[in-house]
Amino acid sequence: MDALSRRRFLKISSATLGVAASGGALASAARAVTGAGAATGLRTVATTCDICFWKCGAIASVRDGRLWKIEGNPLDPLSRGRLCPRGTGGVGAHFDTDRLRTPLIRRKGRGGDEWASVTWDEAFTYIADKLQGIKAQHGPEAVAMFSHGIGGNFLKHTLKAYGTPNFAAPSFAQCRGPRDVGFTLTFGEGVSSPERTDILNTKCLVLLGSHLGENMHNSQVQEFAEAVGNGATVIVVDPRFSIAAGKATHYLPIRPGTDTALLLAWMHVIVTEKLYDREYVEQFGFGFENFAAEIAYATPEWAYPETGIEPDVIRETAREMARHRPATLVHPGRHATWYGNDAQRSRAIALLNALLGSWGRKGGFYTPASMDVPGYPYPPYPVPARGKVDNPDHKYPFAIEAITTGIREATITGAPYPVKGWFVYATNLMQALPNEAETIRAIQALDLMVVIDVVPSEIAGWADVVLPESTYLERHDDLNVEWFREPFVALRQPVVEAPHDQKPNWWIARELAVKLGLGAFYPWKTIEEYFEARLTKAGLSYETLKQQGILRGAQPPIFFEDGVAPVFPTPSGKIEFYSLQLQEKGFDPVPRYTPTPQPPPGAFRMLFGRAPVHSFSRTQTNPILAEMMDENVVWLNADQARRYGLATGDRIRLRNQDGVVSRPVAVLATERIRPDCIYMVHGFGHSAVRMRRAYGKGASDAELVTKYAVDPLMGGTGMHVNFVTIERES
């Protein structure tokens, strides 16, 4: 599409905003995009990206039958017509020469590397036999599934039909769980994904950690750039001078692990100087007086020795936040599993936002909207005889989702009941869960482990059966009925065919169900029948969705409105400054700061994060993304580097407190990090030999995370608690 028609197209799509746009001008505009140029050997398909879980709407182009490129879909509110660098490089996933090609069954001891290629039917027969055996001996609850992303939906359906209640994803206890719990305890609702943050309209953005720009979640980064362009104040709190810090008005190089002290001091200033939104707090708040009394000790002078942030700076930044309220957004973060007291830190972030009146207000947090697309009318699932295995007796009373590491523990101990089978879909548990040795111990206790992956990852190496999935560019996935600023439903559909014997998740899930005698749970034969059924019920057109990739719904109000009482689904029906439910369970009703152990002399705290061109541990074999970055480096404070006689490019190994030693990795000597910590990008240092492009490149933070601090509220695993020393590599 040329620039002019693209502009016109954008105009059409924005003009149509606010009406249910499933036909008319929008549809024909989209046809002009997606059908264009077929005669020249060019074909385009509207689909969604899956290089991360933002699921941006995309238009993929095929030239002379070969996948060519992928760009943002201008109709899509997530991408707004532009993909992030990872999304653009996503085509490399299709061409990746390290891909799994056929189903594999392990021939020798678990963890060994002798495999037989088998047919899909042989693989399903093997799995079904084992599953029937586990059911007969231990009950269906003895099977658990780990997954990450929308691609797991159909397999979950099959395993629910089999009879288990045990499903978990690392996105809770290893990622955003503490945040969503902290916000739910305060406002009655979590922040969800995509986050309900109105970065676009904010006048003051506060980032604790949250390294937007390296963390490339598309909409957030675009909105961040716009907010900066519009002159928003940016306050960045990070022990490392991140990309976002480079855009900041105030950069606060905090001592790691002390954010709660800073948050309490900020709130102290805002309360004692009466800078908070009094009307909002009086109208919507519960327990404000008790809260104010509880934080009376938390002066900036008290916080200074903990955080290393000077009292003047704390006061100045607090006043700056108050000046812009309610359009001040203290970003809730996403990867919140840091130190084990993370739900309370997140609650402190929620409370600061509450004082500023930003929840439900423009420039703060919006109320996400979604289209109403009914689920498929399946028969009811069998009712499991036993409850979930991951959180026995509600040990973690505020866990609102299943805990991966709880399933792992039950698998090791056999309590509250044995777990004998694992299904692992699109999550590399070796890289995602802390303490690899515990994961291996759990795997050794299994009768069956099935891994569905696209490459021979570390976790696939431990499986009994490996099933090769087609990539997102070669398959359909479940409908994405998104909760976002604007309601929409998006479709992932195949752009090209899978190159070998790889299959899509829906087909795998359905075939396995049939093999297990559960065919009644799949009344549909193809996924397109399934789409048709759901969309027809919602009064939407599958044909239009196929062409446009996106259908948008009518825009409801997304901020609090005068005369409409907002809803806070907390026990008090208000914003809980003081939490009686926490108090009842023996926790602090108002967050308190608990110091985290500091590294001993000569050791550094190991921190980690994201790089703009990679996702977790899942993109290192992608030839395009690997060309942009094929290994990570260790950020080391320049003074410290001098002390060790190290310069940028020198190779070192890291040794952690438990004696685990990393692979050799290069140093980046830099002023941009505090002297008490080191930093690296997560996802490198692969140990799976069959991931040829990635094997042994850089160091793995995951290998060094042998220690973790469990959040007593919700079972999250704080992973910033590992200390390392540096050894020069000769």
Ligand X SMILES: Nc1nc2c(c(=O)[nH]1)N[C@H]1C(S)=C(S)[C@@H](COP(=O)(O)OP(=O)(O)OC[C@H]3O[C@@H](n4cnc5c(=O)[nH]c(N)nc54)[C@H](O)[C@@H]3O)O[C@H]1N2
Tokens of 268: 């102290």
Question: In whole angstroms, what is the distance from residue 245 CA to residue 466 CA?
Answer: 43
By CB under 6 A, the residues from 204 to 243 that bind ligand SF4 are 216-218
CB 434 within 8 A of CB 705: yes
Find the shortest distance in angstroms from Cβ 237 to ligand SF4. Answer: 24
Neighbours of 383 (CB within 10 A): 7
324 binds, among ligand X, Mo ion, ligand SF4, none (CB under 5 to 8 A by kind): none
Tokens of 8: 């016109």
Q: Among 53-61, 139-147, 391-399, 487-495, which window interacts with ligand SF4 (CB under 6 A)?
A: 53-61
55 binding ligand SF4? (CB under 6 A): yes
Nearest to 45 by CA among 13, 71, 23: 71
Residue placing its CB nearer to ligand X in the complex, 13 or 717:
717
* Gyration radius from the chain CA atoms: 25
Q: Which helix (H) or strand (E) is 237 found in, with range? A: strand 233-237
Q: Among 79-87, 400-408, 515-523, 526-534, which window interacts with ligand SF4 (CB under 6 A)?
A: 79-87
284 binds, among ligand X, ligand SF4, Mo ion, none (CB under 5 to 8 A by kind): none
Residue placing its CB nearer to ligand X in the complex, 411 or 457:
457
202 binds, among ligand SF4, Mo ion, ligand X, none (CB under 5 to 8 A by kind): none
Nearest to 451 by CA among 142, 104, 161, 94: 104
Residue placing its CB nearer to ligand X in the complex, 581 or 687:
687
Find the shortest distance in angstroms from Cβ 428 to ligand SF4. Answer: 17
Find the shortest distance in angstroms from Cβ 221 to ligand SF4. Answer: 8
Q: How many residues make contact with ligand SF4 (CB under 6 A)?
A: 13
Measure CA of the first residue to CA of the last residue in the chain; give whole Å: 55
Residue placing its CB nearer to ligand SF4 in the complex, 260 or 471:
471
282: CB partners within 8 A, 6+ apart? 288
Tokens of 143: 């099977």
Residue placing its CB nearer to ligand X in the complex, 410 or 625:
625
Residue placing its CB nearer to ligand SF4 in the complex, 490 or 726:
490
84 binding ligand SF4? (CB under 6 A): yes
Q: Which helix (H) or strand (E) is 122 found in, with range? A: helix 120-138
287: left (phi over 0), alpha (psi -120 to 50) or beta: left
Find the shortest distance in angstroms from Cβ 543 to ligand X. Answer: 26
Strands 665-670 and 651-656: antiparallel
Q: How many residues make contact with Mo ion (CB under 5 A)?
A: 1
- Map residues 165-194 to x or -, x wherever contact with Mo ion holds by CB under 5 A: ----------x-------------------
Residue placing its CB nearer to ligand SF4 in the complex, 56 or 634:
56
Reported for 70-73, long-range contacts at CB under 8 A and 24+ positions apart, including other chains, are: 70/473, 70/495, 73/46, 73/548, 73/549, 73/550
94 binding ligand SF4? (CB under 6 A): no
Tokens of 300: 């900036």
Q: Is the dihedral of CA 409, 431, 57, 190 positive or negative?
A: positive
Q: How would you write 389-408 as a 3-class SS string?
A: CCCHHHCCCCCCCCCHHHHH
The contact set with ligand X (CB under 6 A) reads 50, 52, 86, 148, 151, 170-171, 174-175, 208-211, 215-217, 237-240, 242, 254, 256-257, 259, 333-335, 338, 425-428, 431-432, 452-455, 457, 459, 469, 471-472, 607-612, 614-618, 679, 682, 701-702, 705, 719-720
Question: Which residue reads 């909409």 in tokens?
Answer: 219
Looking at 83, 449, 646, 668, which residue binds ligand SF4 (CB under 6 A)? 83
Residue nearest to Mo ion (CB): 175
Number of H helices and number of E strands within the chain? 25, 27
Tokens of 474: 């070669």
Looking at 21, 29, 33, 49, which residue binds ligand SF4 (CB under 6 A)? 49
Beta strands of 356-493 (E only): which ranges?
A: 421-425, 448-453, 465-468, 480-482, 488-490
Question: In whole angstroms, what is the distance from residue 458 CA to residue 60 CA?
Answer: 30
* DSSP conformational letter for 215: B
209 binds, among Mo ion, ligand X, ligand SF4, none (CB under 5 to 8 A by kind): ligand X
Residue placing its CB nearer to ligand SF4 in the complex, 217 or 345:
217
Q: Among 84-92, 108-116, 251-259, 517-525, which window interacts with ligand SF4 (CB under 6 A)?
A: 84-92
CB 70 within 8 A of CB 77: no
Residue placing its CB nearer to Mo ion in the complex, 128 or 175:
175
Beta strands of 311-420 (E only): which ranges?
A: 328-330
Residue placing its CB nearer to ligand X in the complex, 222 or 570:
222
Residue placing its CB nearer to ligand X in the complex, 57 or 257:
257
232 binding Mo ion? (CB under 5 A): no
674 binding ligand SF4? (CB under 6 A): no
Strands 604-609 and 723-728: antiparallel
Find the shortest distance in angstroms from Cβ 334 to Mo ion. Answer: 6
Residue placing its CB nearer to ligand X in the complex, 201 or 617:
617
Q: Which helix (H) or strand (E) is 514 found in, with range? A: helix 505-515
Q: Which residues bind Mo ion (CB under 5 A)?
A: 175
Chain contacts with ligand SF4 (rule: CB under 6 A): 49, 51-52, 54-56, 83-84, 86-87, 216-218
